[in-house]
Chain A
Amino acid sequence: MAFLELERLTKSFGAHNAVDGLTLGVEKGEFVALLGPSGCGKTTTLQMIAGFVEPTSGAIRLGGKDLLAIKPARRGLGIVFQSYALFPHMTVAENVGFGLEMQGVAAAERRTRVGETLELVGLGAFTTRFPRQMSGGQQQRVALARALVIRPQILLLDEPLSNLDAKLREGMQIELRQIQRTVGTTTILVTHDQAEAMALSDRIVVMNQGKAEQIGPPHEAYERPATPFVANFLGKTNLVNGATVRPERISFAASGLAGTVRTRIFQGNHWLYQVDTASSLVTVIRQNTGEAMPGEGDAVHLAWEGRA
């Protein structure tokens, strides 16, 4: 039996099922991402686990106990909100210490644990700052520290990095992963960014219209997508003669599918090609190795594994 179990979880708003019979088991210490486009039900699922939204039907069990019978304030979950939702009138230390205060932890121990957690997220020197005086990335870390300091059974991350700029986001992904490994908290991440989901999680749940289209390790979902939706959502795909092929698996060869280069775009570490072939327009991604590459209008032959 898994640590966290969602069983046939359903939430309906009128006739519309936001979450439709979702069943999922999360192991202790696992990092699972709920991935999907907006409106796929991933945030609603998170809110049902947190207790802010009541399911229409189905069950949620944590460590074998019925989580739905417990009030949101007693569930002991750490949540990082998309907007961070820091308390603007409290200092960083007060923000992080709030959960411990609610648990009745004594002031001295509170101070120690707040200090330790702020060190963990690299904000040891910022205890007396107010949220307004910090950058988005720093606020994000405060929100993470506030969720982790109560030693939650589960850490819920609701699009935690979507408000950061691209560079900062990448750095935070690596850091988030390291922190999660260090503390070992079971984590559920909600995101619409497939790169983020694949970079962070042990398993991803690709959701579409309230249902799980595929549940599995990122690599497996990418290599062997269960449905066309998963294939398309997890990066670019080509449909050639009825088979799906990833653009980076196609190479230029002496023989193979004949075509003409329509466009060629340089993207730094790789080239992005669109090649007209007899069957369809094929997208090809080639690593930039410094070699000479076919130009626009050149006749080429495409080859990939599994095709002679």
Chain B
Amino acid sequence: MKAAPYLLCVPALVLFAGVVIVPLAMTVLLSFHDWGQYKGIEPVFILKNWQEVLGDSYFHEMFARTFRIAFFVTLLAALFGAPEAYILNRMRSPWRGIFLLVILGPLLISVVARTLGWALLFGGNSGLVNKALMGMGLISAPLPFMFTEIGVVVALTHVLMPYMVLAVWASLQRLDPQVENAAVALGAGPFTVLRRIVLPQVMPGILSGAVIVYALAASAFATPAIIGGRRLKVASTLAYDEFLNTLNWPLGAAVAVLLLLALIAVIWGANRLVERRYAQVFA
């Protein structure tokens, strides 16, 4: 009888192994295979791809760009998303529901459609964004948004903002509203209440939102492909190119595996930080 629970898990485990573990293991194996323009993929065990990915400055630059973009996207999402969630949380119905829909609305639209929308807004020197910025007198000459990191960061931040808002919103829900009143009664001004009372309590929410946004930004494909174009490569678009254009699958696999490892390291580190820093405070 004791075997029953394990037997019941088998179908799910088989499915998980079949669609996740096996392809992943094959990708890892693939990254150690050889490839030539004329000979194709040779199933041998060599370190050539890894030496190239880890040694070539082209790849260094590309990975640095990937994580730089992900970092700034995360930073912007936190800077705008956390206050947004706080304001949203203090709104009254029906406004709260309406604005929640405005924030979550983008999730209902295809990433490609949204990104093409940004491409239209950014496009050329007479793009709407540049016209608006110049009209407000904030800039004197058009800024290059298309095919630049700035453009990718702006578009990705918009795409991924809802994840941050939702994560912070969830932690705000757990806040005792009387705690803010308690701080006010003890003489704290509105800014002190935010900085000393609210922010530390929603920090776990911001960090978990940041992990989601960072992982999605670093592995995003559609937005860097459309806004960044063919020249501004990030890890995911490069892996795509290696697989489908150059047909150098082993090299593409090495790039993909390295991206995965780097992301796992970042997420694991962030989790450790949250657990160690906040364990005794938030059970």
Contact = CB atoms under 8 A, between A and B. Distances in A.
B201 A89 contact: yes
Interface stretch (B174-182, B250-258, B264-272): B174-182
B281 A89 contact: yes
Contact of A132 (B176, B184, B200, B283): B283
B183 A98 contact: yes
Contacts of A82: 178
A81 B181 contact: yes
Contact of A85 (B178, B192, B283): B178
Given A102-B186, A150-B186, A88 B281 contact: yes
A79 B188 contact: no
Contacts, number: 69
B150 interface: no
A89 to B, nearest CB: 4
Nearest to B197: A87
A77 B184 CA distance: 10
Given A89-B200, A132-B281, A132-B282, A74 B187 contact: yes
B280 A133 contact: yes
Interface string B243-261: 0000000000000000000
B124 to A, nearest CB: 49
A249 to B, nearest CB: 42
A85 B176 contact: yes
Interface string B162-201: 0000000000000010110111111111001000110011
Residue of B179, B183, B185, B201 with highest tally of chain A CB at under 10 A = B185
Interface residues of B, number: 22
Given A81-B181, A102-B192, A130 B280 contact: yes
A33 interface: no
Interface in A80-102: 81-83, 85-89, 98-99, 102
Contacts of A52: 181, 184
B185 A83 contact: no
A257 B281 CA distance: 64
A247 B189 CA distance: 53
Contacts of A78: 185
Contact of A98 (B186, B189, B280, B282): B186
Contacts of B181: 50, 52, 79, 81, 85
A166 interface: no
Nearest to B199: A89
A15 interface: no
Nearest to B186: A99
Nearest to B280: A130
Contacts of A99: 186-187
Contacts of B200: 89
Residue of B183, B187, B192, B280 with highest tally of chain A CB at under 10 A = B187
A130 B201 CA distance: 13
A259 B185 CA distance: 58
Residue of B181, B201, B283 with highest tally of chain A CB at under 10 A = B181
A85 B184 CA distance: 12
A83 B178 contact: yes
A103 B187 contact: yes
Residue of A73, A79, A89, A102 with highest tally of chain B CB at under 10 A = A89
Interface in A137-176: 146, 150
A157 B183 CA distance: 16
A88 B201 contact: yes
Contacts of A146: 182, 186
A217 interface: no
A281 B95 CA distance: 56
Contacts of B201: 88-89
Nearest to B182: A85
A78 B192 CA distance: 18
B266 to A, nearest CB: 24
A87 B187 contact: no
A83 B176 contact: yes
A266 B176 CA distance: 43
Contacts of A89: 200-201, 278, 281-282
Given A50-B185, A87-B197, A99-B187, 11 more contacts: A52-B184, A73-B185, A78-B185, A82-B178, A85-B179, A88-B201, A89-B278, A102-B192, A103-B187, A130-B280, A132-B281
Top 6 nearest A-B pairs (CB, nearest first) are A102-B187, A99-B186, A85-B178, A85-B182, A89-B200, A81-B178
Interface of A: 50-52, 72-79, 81-83, 85-89, 98-99, 102-103, 130, 132-133, 146, 150
30 contacts: A50-B181, A51-B184, A51-B185, A52-B184, A73-B184, A73-B185, A73-B188, A74-B187, A75-B185, A76-B187, A79-B181, A79-B185, A83-B176, A85-B178, A85-B179, A85-B181, A87-B179, A87-B183, A88-B179, A88-B201, A89-B282, A98-B188, A102-B186, A102-B188, A132-B280, A132-B283, A133-B280, A146-B182, A150-B186, A150-B187
